[in-house]
């Protein structure tokens, strides 16, 4: 089968997903992409450029697989293509928390909606993500004055499925090291942005440091804000605890920090799957995560109480781990997260998408 994978925002996790499936799939996959910048314009106008480029292609395809940054309805109108289109939701703009604060309204959520309507099948990277989308979709439609088309919610739900994020976890094995510090090492490997809630993480570190708890911390991840953050303020107060500060320049450096670390921490408001957390778990870090979003699905249910915290319980859970009162068998968490490696997920994707074409 020949698949055209369209990615208007070819960067970060979107690029890793597209490249990963292309590499590990048994199908032939060609990429049609645009650079990862100007995300609003990619959602609004990217389909115009990609439709023009598609119309210039001479290759025959069996299926188009596109990400949620793509306006499928516009693409259909401009290409008149009858090919089946599968739409993959890494995130969605109906429930993305930053949109409400930036006064985007339902503009980009509506693009997700009409794209789903124009697609033959829609896939979400987690059950949590699917549930959140369909919980919010009726609220968006009711927002408008009339002709709310609420019956389309059930139409879309019938074509919606969970297709977990595929990750190239095994690549991390090449950088495995037994080197550990004499004190517990905590790692933060998320973007330095508000939706990842760095403020709560810094507050927890401040409290533990004030109590005299022994730990080190590595601040990884990118700073898209390109300005001073909560972490820069914390760097001055927590200088004796910080062992690394800033985005890692290479996969090798990043992976070695994960293997050296003892704990992977998240305080996020938003995470539709949790790819960065999954990488830390695979490298045998103990996960300390909010009891919300998709995080419970990343951990065996028997370990939820040891790894998940509710409300303001982050410090107390960390304190119990760092004092040695609580421990986790990281062989169990690693085995659980390994199910999302492309060696397992790519054959699943292949079968799902081939069935879609056969049923068309």
pLDDT digit string, tens, across residues 165-174: 999 999 999 9
Cβ atoms of 295 and 277 within 8 Å: the answer is yes
How far, in Å, CA of 85 to CA of 87, rounded? 6
Instruction: Give the lowest-confidence range in 116-130, 143-157, 215-229.
Output: 215-229
Q: How are strands ordered across the β-sheet holding 85-89? A: 28-35, 2-10, 63-67, 85-89, 121-124, 160-162
Task: Give tens-digit pLDDT for 196-207.
Answer: 998 999 999 999
Q: Which CATH class is domain 170-340?
A: alpha beta
Q: Which parts of 174-332 are beta strand (E)?
A: 185-188, 216-219, 242-245, 263-265, 286-290, 308-309
Q: Give the neighbor-by-neighbor strand order of the sheet with 216-219.
A: 242-245, 216-219, 185-188, 263-265, 286-290, 308-309
3-state class of 337 per DSSP? helix
What is 2-167+342-359's CATH number? 3.40.50.2000
pTM over 0.75: yes
> Looking at residue 101, what is its pLDDT?
46
d(CA 345, CA 24): 9
What's the whole-number mean pLDDT along residues 323-335?
Answer: 95
Element (H, E) at 123: strand 121-124
Q: Where are the domains of the chain?
A: 2-167+342-359, 170-340
Residue found under tokens 């309507």: 117
Report the pLDDT value the prediction gives residue 97, as an integer from 0 to 100: 64
For position 106, what pLDDT does the model report?
Answer: 83
Tens-place pLDDT, residues 237-248: 888 999 998 888
Question: Do the domains spanning 2-167+342-359 and 170-340 agree at the CATH topology level?
Answer: yes
Cα 113 from Cα 73, distance rounded (Å): 10
Closest CA to 298 of 316, 320, 280, 318: 280
Distance between CA atoms of 342 and 345, rounded to whole angstroms?
A: 5
Residue 202 and residue 205: Cα distance in Å, rounded? 5
**Dist CA 273 CA 192 (whole Å):** 17
């Amino acid at each position: 089968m020949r698949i055209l994978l369209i990615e208007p925002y070819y960067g970060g996790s979107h690029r890793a997903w597209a490249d990963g499936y292309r590499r590990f799939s048994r199908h032939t996959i060609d990429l049609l992409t645009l650079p990862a910048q100007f995300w609003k314009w990619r959602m609004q106008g990217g389909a115009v450029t990609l439709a023009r480029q598609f119309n210039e292609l001479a290759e025959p395809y069996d299926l188009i697989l596109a990400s949620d940054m793509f306006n499928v309805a516009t693409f259909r109108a401009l290409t008149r293509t009858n090919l089946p289109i599968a739409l993959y939701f890494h995130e969605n703009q109906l429930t993305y928390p930053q949109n409400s604060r930036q006064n985007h309204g339902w503009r980009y959520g509506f693009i997700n909606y009409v794209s789903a309507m124009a697609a033959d099948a829609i896939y979400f990277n987690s059950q949590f993500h699917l549930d959140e989308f369909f919980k919010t979709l009726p609220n968006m439609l009711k927002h408008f004055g009339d002709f709310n088309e609420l019956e389309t919610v059930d139409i879309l739900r019938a074509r919606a499925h969970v297709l977990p994020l595929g990750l190239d976890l095994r690549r991390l094995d090449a950088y495995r090291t037994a080197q550990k510090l004499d004190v517990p090492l905590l790692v933060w490997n998320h973007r330095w942005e508000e939706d990842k809630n760095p403020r709560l993480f810094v507050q927890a570190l401040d409290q533990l440091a004030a109590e005299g708890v022994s730990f080190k911390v590595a601040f990884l991840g990118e700073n898209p804000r390109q300005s001073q953050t909560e972490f820069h303020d914390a760097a001055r107060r927590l200088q004796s605890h910080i062992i690394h500060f800033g985005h890692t320049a290479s996969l090798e450096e990043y992976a070695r920090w994960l293997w050296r670390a003892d704990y992977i921490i998240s305080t996020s408001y938003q995470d539709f799957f949790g790819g960065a957390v999954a990488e830390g778990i695979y490298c045998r870090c103990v996960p300390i995560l909010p009891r919300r979003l998709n995080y419970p699905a990343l951990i065996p249910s028997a370990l939820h109480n040891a790894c998940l915290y509710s409300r303001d319980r982050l410090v107390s859970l960390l304190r119990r781990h760092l004092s040695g009162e609580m421990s986790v068998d990281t062989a169990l968490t690693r085995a659980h997260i390994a199910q999302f490696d492309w060696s397992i997920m790519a054959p699943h994707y292949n079968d799902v998408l081939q069935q879609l074409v056969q049923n068309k």
